[in-house]
């Protein structure tokens, strides 16, 4: 069963696709708004991934870890069942 996520959290979780080249995490998702950062921090608290680059001159990035990728897969599977 997938964790209950807000729509912004879900959007960011799904956007961080698996890095098939290395296989050890998701691709970075730019956090362009305060709402994106808030949603990514909530995902980080759930231990689904990490935020890198907060406070820098470029937009921070959110990356799924293996647990976040597993949660992403669960959400995608549920979407397919609902269609």
What residues make up the domain containing 31? Answer: 7-16+25-82
- Alpha-helical runs (H) found in 1-83: 7-15, 34-45, 66-82
How many structural domains is the chain composed of?
1
Q: Give the per-residue pLDDT at 83.
A: 66
Question: Is 42 inside any structural domain?
Answer: yes
Asked if the structure places residue 1 within a domain, the reply is: no
Q: What is the pLDDT of residue 37?
A: 96
> What's the mean pLDDT when you consider all of the chain?
90
At residue 23 the predicted structure's pLDDT band, cuts being 50, 70 and 90, is low
What angle is formed at CA 32 by the lines to CA 64 and CA 42, rounded to 5 degrees?
45
35-53 confidence digits (pLDDT tens):
999 999 999 999 999 999 9
pTM listed for this prediction: 0.87
């Amino acid at each position: 069963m997938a964790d209950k996520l807000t729509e912004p959290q879900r959007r960011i979780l799904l956007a961080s696709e698996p890095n098939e080249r290395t296989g050890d995490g998701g691709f970075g998702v730019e956090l362009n708004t305060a709402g994106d950062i808030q949603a990514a921090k909530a995902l980080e608290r759930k231990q689904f991934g990490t935020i890198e680059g907060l406070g820098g001159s470029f937009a921070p990035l959110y990356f799924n870890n293996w647990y976040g990728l597993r949660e992403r897969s669960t959400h995608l599977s549920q979407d397919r069942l609902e269609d």
